[in-house]
Chain A
């Protein structure tokens, strides 16, 4: 059986890739992609620890289910913000989005 370290390394690598994307990309939808990658690595971490710590197995899975549901809502809201921003401003470059702060 694989050790816990292997799974944690996968989760860590995904987190790093997500942070790289979040810093590098300037279109909103790519940032949303990297956000999804980061949060999915967090869910993977939850499942890994719930597998390897016997007392909290059910709790870990329940919390990861809640987490997935919240992330789905977040993705829906983020995508609708992107669509509205595209309709109004004809652009989705996040570096030019100042309207909300003014």
Chain B
């Protein structure tokens, strides 16, 4: 059982990092969008591996179901020639150097910490716990979040209408 979890972890790591890089570097941006959807899917796999099945389902519904489809729609609506002049050559090296430096620095910080001694807790969180937590401690956050989603929806509709009036 340990070995199964290890295999799953390494496979998910490989898929996650490979799809993240492909989604940024692929020539055709449609492939990039599909690869981003796979990236979201493999992160949901990580959440299952980390004993958070409810968050994994949430990730599947929100990201793979909604956001990935939205991104693919946008990519298909915008014409293909727009994507060709994608990057400035000089920025590429700066970005690579900065990303590597950031990764190495964070890695060194990780080695210095004593996180290695932390052990995974045995108690699993049930959906009931999450529901009680939301409704008791975080109900006001939930209300604000609902308001925020409504505002985002109204904003998107307003921008679409504004576009029609202009053209």
Q: Which residues of A come within 8 Å of B, CB atoms? A: 1-10, 12-27, 29-30, 32-34, 36-37, 40, 43-44, 47-48, 50-54, 57-59, 61-62, 64-66, 68-77, 79-84, 86-88, 91-93, 95
Q: Which residues of B come within 8 Å of A, CB atoms? A: 2, 5-6, 9, 13, 16-17, 20-21, 23-24, 29, 32-33, 36, 39-40, 43, 46-47, 50-52, 54-55, 58-59, 62-63, 66-67, 70-71, 74-75, 77-78, 82-83, 85-88, 91-92, 94-96, 98-100, 102-103, 106-107, 110, 115-116, 118-121, 123, 125, 129-130, 132-134, 137-138, 141-142, 145, 148-149, 152-153, 155-156, 159-160, 162-163, 166-167
CA of A40 to CA of B40, assembled, Å:
8
- Of B13, B133, B162, the residue contacting A58 (CB under 8 A) is B133
Assess whether A1 is in contact with B145, with CB atoms less than 8 Å apart: no
Q: Is the interface of A mostly helix, strand, loop or mixed?
A: helix
Assess whether B50 is in contact with A72, with CB atoms less than 8 Å apart: no
CA of A88 to CA of B100, assembled, Å:
37
Assess whether B43 is in contact with A23, with CB atoms less than 8 Å apart: no
Assess whether B9 is in contact with A14, with CB atoms less than 8 Å apart: no
- Of B58, B118, B155, the residue contacting A53 (CB under 8 A) is B118
CB neighbours of B86 from chain A (8 A): 25-27, 30
Contacts A9-B107, A20-B95 given: A61-B54 contact, CB under 8 Å?
yes
- Which residue on chain A has the smallest CB distance to residue B103? A16
CB neighbours of A80 from chain B (8 A): 155-156, 159-160
- Which residue on chain B has the smallest CB distance to residue A14? B20
CB neighbours of A71 from chain B (8 A): 67
CB neighbours of B67 from chain A (8 A): 36, 71-72, 75-76
